[in-house]
Amino acid sequence: MLKETYKGYTELPRGGYLIDTSEGYLQIGSPPETIKDTMGFEKKTPLVFILPNKFFHVEKGISTAELEFPIYYNFFLRQKKTFIVCTKEQKVQLITVLKESLMGPDNINLKSEYLNGEESFGFPDMKAEMAYFRGYKGLEDVVEFKVFDNDNKVCYGNVNILKLESGDFLIQDGEKKSKFREKWDLILSMISEKDRPNRFKLRLSGSHVLDRRTDSIPKITHPALSFG
């Protein structure tokens, strides 16, 4: 069982920090597979993610802002939006990434995949098919950005989130205050090699990120191919 530190936050096994507030969980940082750390909690996966100052830990080769699966989980299983707290510059960067991963590319050209191009029998309208199965019309249906104002402050209900000049975060929830300093070298050192996302694996059935077994990757069964 994870325990809250005396400083008012919980260090998650795969990286990131969890703060329990009157408005629910807030999480600072979102490393790969972070959803496995919180999806079994009573309050479930956080709806609010605060982006760290850096999106990528160069030495470990790990992203600290992988939000796609928390967004999917919150939308499809909980029917709720995910709120992302960030700067204006981070919002621009993240929108580019999320549009590609959640909405798909703007232009899809499948002509070269078919012998007679668009004249081939069964040539798909891929954009229409993607829109039909996606379940939401646009990014704004699943995500809402909370951008730091000129005072480097964001309000989420009764909780105030402040970004200090030092880059630290101050979370104020009524009389309770928690100051957070990013220590990614410390927290990411907790990630074991088996949890590292850059293992060489071939997966044909999609991601295993929602598998509760942290050390398990589902086997693929195919008439001609089988990869463990």
Is residue 175 exposed (0-12), middle (13-18) or buried (19+ Cβ within 10 Å)?
exposed
More confident residue, 216 or 94: 94
Asked if residues 70 and 49 have their Cβ atoms less than 8 Å apart, the reply is yes
Torsion of CA 74, 101, 122, 119, to 10 degrees: 150
Tell me the backbone φ, ψ of residue 94, rounded to 5 degrees: -70, -35
At residue 212, the pLDDT reads 44
At residue 9, the pLDDT reads 81
Reported confidence tier of residue 219, pLDDT bands at 50, 70, 90: very low
Reported confidence tier of residue 188, pLDDT bands at 50, 70, 90: low
**DSSP bridge partners of 88:** none
Q: What is the pLDDT of residues 1-29, one digit of tens each?
A: 555 544 668 889 888 899 999 999 999 99
CATH number belonging to domain 10-108+139-180: 3.60.15.10
Q: What is the DSSP letter of 165?
A: T
Report the share of the chain in percent with pLDDT over 70.
76
Q: What is the pLDDT of residues 135-153, one digit of tens each?
A: 777 889 999 999 999 999 9
Question: Mean pLDDT: which of 71-85, 132-146, 170-184, 198-212 is highest?
Answer: 71-85
- Please compute the mean of the pLDDT values over residues 60-74 and round it to a whole number: 88
Q: Which residues contact 184 (CB under 8 A, 6 or more apart)?
A: 15, 29, 52, 54, 57, 64
At residue 89, the pLDDT reads 96
Is residue 223 exposed (0-12), middle (13-18) or buried (19+ Cβ within 10 Å)?
exposed
Reported confidence tier of residue 196, pLDDT bands at 50, 70, 90: low
Asked if residues 38 and 25 have their Cβ atoms less than 8 Å apart, the reply is yes
209: left (phi over 0), alpha (psi -120 to 50) or beta: alpha
d(CA 155, CA 21): 13
**DSSP bridge partners of 173:** 159, 176
What is the residue-averaged pLDDT of the chain? 79
Tell me the backbone φ, ψ of residue 173, rounded to 5 degrees: -125, 90
More confident residue, 208 or 154: 154
At residue 223, the pLDDT reads 42
d(CA 67, CA 131): 21
Least confident of 90-99, 100-109, 151-160, 211-220: 211-220
